[in-house]
Chains A and B, each alone.
Chain A
Amino acid sequence: MMKPITIHSGIAAPLLFANINTDTIIPSREMKRVSKTGFADGLFANMRYLNMERKADPAFILNQPAYRGASVLLTGDNFGCGSSREHAVWALYGFGFKVIVAESFGSIFFDNCITNGVLPVRLSHDTINQFARYVSADPQNRPLAIDLEARTVVAGALTCEFEIPDTARDLLMKGHAPIDVTLERIDAINHHMGEDKKRRPWLYAMADGG
């Protein structure tokens, strides 16, 4: 099940482009399995490899030894926009990313992070650039520390706070599957359904579509 997150400290890789979409995070052709694991190799495939034989592009940041073992991604505005493919989160998580710091996130991607135990952190453009400058001077020895309980990101002398909705934070900190949390309210759901059948009988007396 999901691993709870309270504090995470790790090597941070800056990928400072705006609008990195989920097709870029994992191209469609890489989504070959009917499963939620095994997608790490397809992560950023179009940027990471020079050809279909998967020759690594040395210019791509995650191929550089300085960023080996990165677990925090620093990126631009609207990260994870586009397709709803949850594979984007599975590929990032499979590769080792636990925290994604961006100016903003695609809304489905943000929710997908929460359901998979990946922490999405929203910070301003300037703050992200400051963090990126700081870590890139010596990535292996300048980790970024994220404290979800305190809602802070710390790197060297730089500290800043971030916001995240309480429900999302609780789920991440407890590592609970949202589905089990909701099933505790099954009585309320059934009650709503009963009332709704009186209010909208037409929705339940469906034709068979024959």
Chain B
Amino acid sequence: MSEQTKHTPRTAYEKMRALHEVARFDDGTSLIYIDRIILHERTGSIALTNMIEEARPVLCPDMVFATIDHIVDTRPGRPSLSRMPGGEVFIDAMRTTTSQLGLRLFDVDDPRQGIVHVMAPEQGIALPGLTIVCPDSHTCTLGGLGALAWGIGSTDCEHALATRTLRVANHRQMRIWVEGSMPPWLSAKDIIIHLIERYSTSGAKGYVIEFDGPAIRQMEIEQRLTLCNMAVEFGAFSAFVSPDAKTLDYVRGRPFAPRPRHQDAAQSHWLALTSDTGALFDREIHLDIAQLSPRITWGTSPQQAIPIDGHIPAPSSDANLSAARSDQRALDYMGLKSGESLLGKKIDAAFIGSCTNSRLSDLRRAADILRSRRIADHVTAICVPGSTQVKQAAEAEGLHLIFQQAGFEWQEAGCAMCFFAGGHSFGAQARVISSTNRNFEGRQGPGTRTHIASPETVALSALNGCISDLRSLMPQHDDRRVS
């Protein structure tokens, strides 16, 4: 470390890069050392098959972790292997290639199986300060633990497997400082949707985001994971929350976390990975969440969002023709008009799951709303725990009974209907309120209309059969308090 870097205040991102830099190129790109690679059957199978075809060895098999989540059947009891017609080939390829290359695989029946971004934190595979990649865009989720984690393509994944490195641009840095006490109706999901709605899906393009501030420090780890999960929808390279006491508590004792004899050394290393006072960011955003209302998307891009009691805006002015066309196309697809309110809009289905919102705390908050109540008759409702471990923990506290008695189907762990794999969908023009991260055209099935919201908002809307405001449950906001 040069004298200069010792004294210049540095950001956490700069510290993490410096610790992982193998070489630097003239254009500012660096060759970055990769600590852990995570794979799933959908894209990992292609990378591994190609490695074998090109006879390339995996440099460090011990740092690779694979699971099966994307197209595995999640219906109760997993009646078939894949929910994608012909999807068995991906699962088979994952099994044969991981065994050929000597890689760990948490297979369908393994208690550690789950959505990659849910399984990695709970197994201690994701740890603070680690560089982690996975051929999946929501890898940024792991930044919730203070890791530098990002999604890559399959070919770059081969690069990481073969060389334990990747070329990484030196990203601009954005700090999002969040303050104000979190209202009881608000969750990390609403905060990130609000940021995307306000600054657009390219608002953080080219940036790595550091979330900080009193409200972030108050936030539990699972909420931080949710917050970082949608950084990719915000256009960011990645996002993270630097480690603190909550992070250390979360990580301690997890299967792949440091052994007890290394605990102290690891913890002091992690706690040093915060931004120094006076460190410079290219951009700073301040957000006060004390008055923020719950959010919901109205369109087919995550930026097409409004406060739950807001009105759909008019399409962008024709100053930007392509944006205006996209807005109009979204309204047509969603069967909505500008000026309309979404509150009270009848829904056909409700989905709770995905790497954004399928952890134990998400299910607990949704269950609190569903307890002893029934969803509206016309609503199809599904809850899919993010991992087998989440499912088992939820069942141990009886959450599955609350969901089932309310009329939700309780499924096996996986990505499930977060995306349409060609089999089961909610149907064309079905209006779905969903705790997922993408409302793209066709994302949950051809013609399916997806509204993204927090799992609490999804639960309440399922009960009422229409898009609903959580604040109606709060006495200070509405006298028609339910039960």
Query: Which residues of A does B touch, CB under 8 Å?
Result: 16-19, 21, 23-24, 27-29, 31-36, 46, 52, 75-78, 81-86, 89, 104, 106-108, 111-112, 115-116, 125, 129, 165-167, 178-179, 182-183, 185-186, 188-189, 192-193, 196, 199-203, 205-207, 209-210
**B322 in the interface (beta carbon within 8 A):** yes
Stretch of B198-206, B214-222, B344-352, B373-381 at the chain-chain interface: B198-206
**A82 & B137 in contact (Cβ 8 Å cutoff):** yes
22 contacts between A and B (CB under 8 A): A18-B325, A34-B45, A34-B49, A36-B155, A76-B326, A81-B235, A82-B232, A83-B137, A83-B438, A111-B152, A115-B155, A115-B156, A116-B155, A167-B25, A182-B167, A196-B33, A202-B258, A202-B262, A205-B258, A209-B123, A209-B255, A210-B255
The answer for the CA separation of A39 and B336 in the assembled complex, in Å, is 33
On whether the beta carbons of A202 and B265 are closer than 8 Å, the reply is yes
A23, A29, A188: which has the most chain B beta carbons within 10 Å?
A29
Complexed CA–CA distance, A110 and B439 (Å): 22
Contact flag A84-B130 (CB < 8 Å), given A46-B442, A202-B262: no
B residues with CB within 8 A of A: 19, 22-23, 25-29, 31, 33, 35, 42-43, 45-46, 49-50, 56, 59-60, 62, 84, 86, 89-90, 93, 104, 112, 123-124, 127, 130, 135-137, 150-156, 158-159, 162-165, 167, 169, 201-202, 205-206, 232-233, 235, 237, 255-259, 262-263, 265-266, 269, 301, 303, 320-323, 325-326, 329, 419-422, 438, 440-443, 446
Residues of B contacting A185 in the complex (Cβ-Cβ under 8 angstroms)? 22-23, 31
Whole-angstrom CA separation of A186 from B164 in the bound complex: 10
Residues on A with C-beta less than 8 A from B154 are 36, 86
- Once A16-B321, A18-B322 are accepted as A-B contacts, the answer to whether A115 and B153 lie under 8 Å apart by CB is yes
Contact indicator A32/B86 (Cβ below 8 Å): yes
A81/B422 contact (C-beta < 8 A), A18-B322, A106-B235, A209-B123 known: no
Which residues of B have CB within 8 Å of A84?
Answer: 43, 135-137, 151-153
Query: What CA separation (Å) do A32 and B42 show in the bound complex?
Result: 9
Contact assessment for A85 and B43 in the assembled complex, using a CB-CB cutoff below 8 Å: yes
Nearest A residue to B93 by beta-carbon distance? A34
Q: Are B420 and A36 in contact (CB under 8 A)?
A: no
Residue among B49, B127, B153, B237 facing the most chain A CB atoms (10 A cut-off)? B153
Q: Is the CB of B26 within 8 A of A166?
A: yes
A-B Cβ contacts below 8 A, count:
204
Q: State the CA gap A78–B56 with chains docked (Å).
A: 34
- A86-B321 CB under 8 A given contacts A34-B46, A36-B154, A185-B31: no
Q: Which residues of B contact A209 (CB under 8 A)?
A: 104, 112, 123-124, 255-256
Besides A23-B438, A200-B269, A206-B256, 10 more A-B contacts (Cβ < 8 Å) are A17-B329, A27-B442, A46-B442, A106-B235, A108-B150, A165-B28, A179-B159, A182-B163, A185-B23, A203-B35
Smallest CB-CB A-B distances: 10 pairs: A29-B422, A202-B262, A76-B322, A202-B258, A86-B153, A112-B153, A209-B255, A84-B137, A166-B27, A115-B155
Q: How far is the CA of A112 from the CA of B156 in the complex (A)?
A: 8
Name the one of A89, A165, A202 contacting B153, with C-beta atoms under 8 angstroms.
A89
Distance in angstroms from B21 CB to nearest chain A CB is: 8
Q: How far is it, in angstroms, between the C-alpha of A112 and the C-alpha of B35 when the chains are bound?
A: 21
A residues near B90, Cβ cutoff 8 Å: 34
Q: What is the CA–CA distance of A34 and B70 in the complex, to the nearest angstrom?
A: 14
Residues of B within 8 A of A78 (CB): 201-202, 205, 235
Residue of A whose beta carbon sits closest to that of B422: A29
In the assembly, what is the distance between CA of A209 and CA of B29, in Å? 35
Q: CB distance B169 to A28 under 8 Å?
A: no
Chain B CB within 10 Å, residue with most, of A31, A33, A75: A31
Q: Given the complex of chains A and B, what is the CA–CA distance between A12 and B416 in angstroms?
A: 38
Q: How far is the CA of A108 from the CA of B139 in the complex (A)?
A: 12
Pair A183/B440 contact, Cβ less than 8 Å: no
Residues in B with CB closer than 8 Å to A115 are: 153, 155-156, 159
Q: Among B43, B46, B86, which residue has the most Cβ atoms of chain A within 10 A?
A: B46
The answer to whether A112 touches B155 (Cβ under 8 A) is yes
